[in-house]
Structures are given as C-alpha cells and as structure tokens.
Amino acid sequence: MDSWEDPERVGLFAGLLRLIWKQPTPVAIPSDWNTPDLSVSSFELLPTPDSDSTITDVTDETTEVVPLRIENSKGIPYFLADWNQHLAEGNYGLVYSCHDSFGQEFILKALKNKRTPEEIVADWQNERELLFALSHPNIVRIFDAFVFENYHYFVMEKADGDLRGYLSFHKKLDPPQVVDIGLQLLSGLAHIHSQNIIHRDLHKDNILYFENSGKKLVVKIADFGISKQLSSEEDFAKSIVGRDWDYSPELVTKKVASKKSDLYQLGLILYYCLTGEAAISSFDGECEQVTTSGLARERANQIGTPLALVIGKLLHLEPEKRYDDCFKAGAALRDSLSTLDWFTQNQ
C-alpha cells in the first residue's frame, strides 16, 4: 500500500491543514477522549469539524471542551481552556488564562459586548494606549491587544492571583509587609501620575501579585479601563466611574477625581491589608453618606499605630490634607517602620 493511502497518515495531514488554516470554535467532546495538545511539539491532532457549530455528544452528559483558538491581527494564536472558566469578572470585562503555541502562559482580558460599539472601541483604545505607554516593575505588562471576531482583547503577563485572593487566605498582614506593598504600589502610581494619568479604579481586585519563587511578594497595578489621561490644563477628571465603595469623598461631593483620589483608594487598600477588614462598607449605612462622613479615616486613626496614622492621612476627607504626592506618602510609610519598634516598646 502506498504510504499516502495509510488512513492514519491521511488523518494527520488533514489535521495539520486545519491547524494551519484556522481552528474552529470550541467543540465539546466526551470526557473519555484525550484532550489534544496544541503545542508545536504535538503530532497527535484531533480531527475537527468543518463547520463553526459546537458539537456535543448527547449520549453522554459529561463533556470537555477543546481549547478555543483566537488569533491577533498577524495570525498569532492564543488558546483558552474553556470560555466558561474565567478567572475574574468586572463591569466591562472577563479575565481568562491562556497560552500560546509554545505553552507560554498569559492572562487574556476580553471586553464585554454589553455597550455600544463606539463605547467599547473607545475604552479599548484608551486602555491599550495607556498600557503600552506605561513601563514599570509595579505595573502589569501588556504583550498584545487585538480584535478577533468582534471581541476586543488584551494579552498580559500572568500573575499568581489578585490581592483580594491573597488577603482572603492570609487575612491581615504584618506592618512591614503592608509597608512593602504600599511602597511598591506608590512606586507604580508615581510613574502613572508622572504621565499625567489618574487610575481611578484602585482596589484589591486590580492589584495582582507575583510570589517570585520564594522571594518577596511583588504587586502590580492592573486594569486601566477607566483611567484618564489629563491634558496639561487639567487637574481633575469630571466623571463618576468605578465602584461606589471605592469612591473618594470628592468624587461623591464634587463629581471630580484627581491624583489625590488615587491616594485615597490606596489608603483603603492598605487599611484592608493591615486589619483584614474594609474601612467602610454597606454595614455602615448608605454609601454616599458613609464615604463623606470621615469614618474611614477615623477608624484608621483609632488604631493609633504609626502606620495606621499614615493610612489615616491618605483617607482624609479633604484632598489637600492628604499627602502632596506619592513620594511624600512613601517617605511617611518608611518612617512609620522606623518608629514601630519604639511605639511597640512603649505600649
């Protein structure tokens, strides 16, 4: 028999052609099948249908989904395990784990198609431009941004998790670690502010952590979806965006946000790191009233430690009474550690 009449060789050749041309949408297959390895070292390719329809074996309810293939404008593919298994979800996007043809893992953010096309394109372009313009050890790195089949994507470095997940496991952190996290975030935030950008959406879900092979925890600022680059004449952003319990008081009362609004949100994050609890929440009453009551600062000051007093100043109701910038806030955080031993010994 001629070698090309061998059914196994014919099946392999056909599978290779399908992989080169385009991988179809996810195909549900019985769980006792072997999920194909889509790396470049694989030679056992699962035959796939010619149509774009999803095929399910109705005789067996237990199914798995073949990794989904999407590609950027240059035809470079990324693979997802399952559309239904996202890592996180925000108001405007879903976050997935993905990998390339070589097994390198990434985070994939897909914008939801729940707004007008003009709004989605504008937000995607804004975030893409900001992420590619910002390069800093404490800002998440972006590797790719593209549109595929009417969805807008970002491909970014993969983290070990977000700060919310880290704190849900560790509860509260020791003051030296809180200071270290604060200094890293201030370093990234200072770079953001140096580009005349306000983040406007700093909270535990948008801080990613990297455990760095046993070395100190590294944290990075992510999600610039509602960030605003100010013009040279602007000091404020004049729109209400973000999560209501993360609003700064001036956003509630004056409908404006500034770089000092980012410092307020950092104060909320550090308070949670130190205590394991939110500075303010729905248990305290109505959001706008609680945010503008000064309760967050009051609770930080009641702790009374040097670090808590620094956090309290970040949480001041009046922006002009917070630290002038990230550098002065960082100096205060470092000083809080130098006085920690004295404070502990004299309690």
Better-predicted residue by pLDDT, 16 or 114: 114
Q: What pLDDT score was predicted for residue 130?
A: 93
Q: DSSP 3-state assignment of 93?
A: strand
Q: Do domains 24-54+65-157 and 161-345 have the same CATH topology?
A: no
Inter-residue contact 260 to 202 (CB < 8 Å): no
Structure tokens at 227: 């960030």
- For residue 227, the number of C-alpha atoms closer than 13 Å in the C-beta half-sphere is 28
CA distance 16 to 79: 16
Task: Report the Cα–Cα distance between both ends of the chain, in Å, rounded.
Answer: 90
CATH domain 161-345 topology: Transferase(Phosphotransferase); domain 1 (1.10.510)
In tens, the pLDDT along 81-94 reads 777 788 888 778 88
In tens, the pLDDT along 209-229 reads 999 766 789 999 999 988 888
Q: What pLDDT score was predicted for residue 28?
A: 42
Q: What pLDDT score was predicted for residue 228?
A: 85
CA distance 328 to 332: 6
> Rounded to an integer, what is the distance from CA 62 to the centroid of its chain?
32
CA distance 204 to 208: 8
In tens, the pLDDT along 104-113 reads 999 999 999 8
Q: DSSP 3-state assignment of 343?
A: helix
Q: Which of 294, 238, 296 is nearest to 266 (CA)?
A: 296
CATH class of 24-54+65-157: alpha beta
Q: Which of 92, 200, 103, 102 is nearest to 154 (CA)?
A: 92
DSSP letter at 281 equals: -
CA distance 7 to 86: 38
Q: What pLDDT score was predicted for residue 15?
A: 43
Q: Which of 105, 111, 248, 223 is nearest to 163 (CA)?
A: 223
Q: What is the mean pLDDT of the chain?
A: 81
Whole-angstrom Cα Rg for the chain:
24
Q: What pLDDT score was predicted for residue 14?
A: 44
Catalytic residue chosen out of the listed positions 100, 162, 180, 201? 201
Q: Residue 344 pLDDT > 80, yes or no?
A: no
CA distance 211 to 243: 27
Stretch 31-49: mean pLDDT, rounded? 36
Q: Residue 29 pLDDT > 60, yes or no?
A: no
Inter-residue contact 73 to 146 (CB < 8 Å): yes
The answer to whether 201 is a known catalytic residue is yes
- For the chain, the structural domain boundaries read 24-54+65-157, 161-345
Sign of the torsion formed by the C-alpha atoms of 84, 85, 91 and 92: negative
Structure tokens at 344: 């502990």
Q: What pLDDT score was predicted for residue 72?
A: 94
121 by Cβ neighbours in 10 Å (0-12 / 13-18 / 19+) ranks as middle
In tens, the pLDDT along 176-185 reads 999 999 999 9
Q: What pLDDT score was predicted for residue 262?
A: 96
Inter-residue contact 262 to 251 (CB < 8 Å): no
Q: What pLDDT score was predicted for residue 302?
A: 97
Stretch 221-241: mean pLDDT, rounded? 73
Q: Which amino acid is at 77?
A: P
Q: What band does 21 get if pLDDT is binned at 50, 70 and 90? A: very low
Q: What pLDDT score was predicted for residue 35?
A: 39
CA distance 257 to 227: 11
Q: What band does 244 get if pLDDT is binned at 50, 70 and 90? A: confident
Question: Three-state SS across 103-151?
Answer: CCEEEEEEECCCCCHHHHHHHHHHHHHHHHHCCCCCECCEEEEEEECCE
In tens, the pLDDT along 132-155 reads 999 999 999 999 999 999 899 999
